[in-house]
């Protein structure tokens, strides 16, 4: 039987805020274990949570970007379970009344058409600490630096029908979060975690199948592989006439397979109830408008605007806008040099090539204004494009601007006809055979001769002048033979 894949996603995003969700400790990773903790995030007796409103603003931003409705009244709830990394024995989350509901994000489906993936909700919750097992005899240690840091959980409807849709969704979501400075979106480091709920059903069947939740997905690639694996596993079970059981499975990245974590019967009863320590969260229109006014430009809007303003192709724009900082770098360069197309070529070509070997665009050694100076020299014909590349390489390690480097290294274009003519004469005397071939009708040989002359002049000759003079010179030979 042919089956259709049905996926819904639960996505956890670590929010980029200065401090934790309910206390003043730093929301920062990489410090010594338990350096960023206090009595509140360690769950000492008698402490109380105080909501960090910066978190609320980040979530409002994300909600607006994802077309959600921001609910005027939401509620914090306790999710109760025991685990050593959970200091209070409950996680403060949102249950019945989340801060955002509804919403959607458009993805490209298998037929290259735009399709809406509907969101069910977005809610705020706190993260837990981390257990450390490695190198410890007789037990484990807990690092509570992450305990109490803010998370946003996004739950979609089961609207995905292919891994491509999932991939596109995750890519866009990460891009949006990075643009809004909501989350750095790094799946490998766990700042973006996704749990697909996967089920299958016979093609064209209206009913949903039994779902399996997949955990431990640490990369986009793992998401893709995990879903594909589950699709195959579930298809096999149904084809063999067996039933799928509702369960939570983990993804083993080394073995490339999923394994059973717990069955439905073993599922926790979290005993959610409203947290009596936190009054309902009220978000009025004024607050939403304040956030909207200060909100960063969304990727889609930025792309449309850059396309329009700088007249570059859709594809180029996609590359440039994949990262907000790159797009900003491009914009500044394009504005300064006044040539969107050339700026795009340089940014997509040379700048991104260098960045691939390491480093961030924010600290790129050539600033947009220096790069635009270089682009202008090439555009004005003062520097050939190959010489331009050499100047670019020099600029990576020098703080001088392009024209200074050009002059000091004698890299400028030579359009003086005497010097060019002298070189042409040399070439003609060195390659008499080729000259004869040209004269006997082999037009293509011209490019070879010009190439030789250019090489002699180390590429510095003005190509237009060179072309013109070479042709004129050879034509004078035609009469003589």
Give the interface with another protein as residue ranges (CB under 8 A).
39, 42-51, 78, 80, 82, 84, 87-90, 142, 269, 271-273, 276-279
Shortest separation between residue 39's beta carbon and another protein, angstroms: 5
Are the CB atoms for 143 and 33 separated by under 8 Å?
A: yes
Cα gap 364→351, rounded to integer Å: 8
Shortest separation between residue 50's beta carbon and another protein, angstroms: 6
Shortest separation between residue 91's beta carbon and another protein, angstroms: 11
Shortest separation between residue 162's beta carbon and another protein, angstroms: 34
Q: Considering only CA atoms, which of 263, 273, 258, 149 is closest in space to residue 195?
A: 258
Nearer to another protein, 45 or 479 (CB): 45
Shortest separation between residue 22's beta carbon and another protein, angstroms: 9
Terminal CA-to-CA distance of the chain, rounded, Å? Answer: 80
Nearer to another protein, 104 or 272 (CB): 272
Shortest separation between residue 133's beta carbon and another protein, angstroms: 12
Cα gap 473→309, rounded to integer Å: 45
Shortest separation between residue 35's beta carbon and another protein, angstroms: 15
Nearer to another protein, 220 or 272 (CB): 272
Nearer to another protein, 139 or 241 (CB): 139
DSSP 160: B
Q: What is the 3-state secondary structure (H, E, C) of 341-364?
A: HHHHHHHHHHHHHHHHCCCCHHHC
Nearer to another protein, 221 or 271 (CB): 271
Shortest separation between residue 121's beta carbon and another protein, angstroms: 20
Nearer to another protein, 51 or 439 (CB): 51
Residue 216: partners with Cβ closer than 8 Å, 6 or more residues away: 222, 250, 251, 252, 253
Residue 19: partners with Cβ closer than 8 Å, 6 or more residues away: 25, 26, 27, 52, 54
Nearer to another protein, 95 or 179 (CB): 95
Task: Count Cα neighbours of 217 within 13 Å in the Cβ-side half-sphere.
Answer: 29
Nearer to another protein, 76 or 179 (CB): 76
Nearer to another protein, 54 or 379 (CB): 54
Q: Is the dihedral of CA 221, 224, 230, 231 positive or negative?
A: negative
Inter-CA distances, 460 with 381, 453, 457, Å: 11, 10, 6
Cα gap 440→454, rounded to integer Å: 23
Which DSSP helix (H) or strand (E) runs through 144? none
Shortest separation between residue 28's beta carbon and another protein, angstroms: 21
How open is the CA angle 420-426-427, to the nearest 5 degrees? Answer: 90
């Amino acid at each position: 039987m042919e089956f259709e894949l049905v996926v819904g996603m639960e996505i956890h995003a670590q929010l980029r805020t200065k401090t934790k969700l309910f206390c003043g400790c730093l929301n920062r990773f990489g410090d010594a274990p338990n350096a960023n903790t206090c009595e509140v995030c360690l769950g000492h007796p008698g402490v109380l949570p105080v909501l960090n409103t910066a978190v609320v603003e980040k979530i409002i931003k994300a909600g607006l970007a994802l077309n959600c409705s921001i609910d005027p009244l939401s509620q914090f709830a306790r999710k109760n379970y025991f685990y050593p990394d959970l200091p209070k024995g409950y996680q403060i989350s949102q249950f019945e009344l989340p801060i955002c509901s509804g919403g959607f994000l458009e993805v490209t489906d298998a037929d290259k058409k735009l399709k809406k993936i509907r969101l069910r909700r977005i809610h705020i919750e706190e993260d837990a600490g981390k257990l450390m097992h490695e190198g410890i005899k007789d037990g484990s240690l807990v690092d509570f630096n992450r305990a109490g840091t803010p998370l946003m959980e996004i739950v979609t409807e089961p609207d995905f029908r292919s891994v491509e849709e999932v991939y596109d969704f995750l890519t866009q979501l990460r891009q949006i979060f990075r643009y809004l400075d909501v989350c750095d979106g790094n799946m490998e480091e766990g700042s973006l975690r996704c749990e697909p709920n996967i089920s299958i059903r016979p093609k064209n069947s209206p009913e949903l199948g039994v779902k399996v939740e997949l955990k431990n997905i640490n990369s986009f690639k793992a998401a893709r592989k995990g879903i594909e694996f589950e699709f195959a596993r579930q298809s096999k079970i149904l084809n063999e006439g067996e039933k799928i059981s509702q369960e939570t499975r983990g993804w083993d990245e080394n073995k490339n397979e999923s394994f059973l974590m717990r069955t439905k019967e073993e599922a926790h009863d979290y005993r959610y109830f409203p947290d009596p320590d936190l009054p309902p969260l009220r978000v009025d229109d004024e607050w939403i408008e304040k956030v909207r006014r200060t909100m960063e430009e969304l990727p889609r809007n930025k792309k449309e605007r850059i396309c329009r303003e700088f007249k570059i192709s859709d594809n180029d724009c996609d590359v440039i806008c994949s990262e907000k900082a790159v797009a900003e770098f491009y914009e500044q360069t394009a504005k300064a040099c006044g040539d969107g197309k050339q700026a795009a070529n340089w940014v997509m070509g040379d700048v991104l090539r260098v960045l691939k070997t390491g480093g961030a665009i924010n600290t790129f050694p050539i600033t947009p204004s220096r790069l635009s100076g270089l682009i202008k020299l090439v555009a004005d014909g003062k520097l050939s494009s190959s010489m331009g590349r050499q100047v670019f390489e020099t600029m990576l390690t020098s703080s001088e601007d392009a024209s200074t480097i050009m002059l000091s290294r004698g890299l400028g274009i030579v359009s003086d006809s005497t010097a060019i003519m002298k070189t042409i004469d040399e070439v003609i005397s060195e390659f008499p055979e080729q000259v004869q071939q040209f004269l006997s009708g082999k037009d293509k040989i011209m490019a070879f001769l010009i190439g030789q002359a250019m090489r002699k002049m180390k590429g510095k000759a003005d190509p237009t002048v060179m072309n013109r003079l070479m042709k004129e010179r050879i034509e004078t030979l035609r009469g003589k033979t």
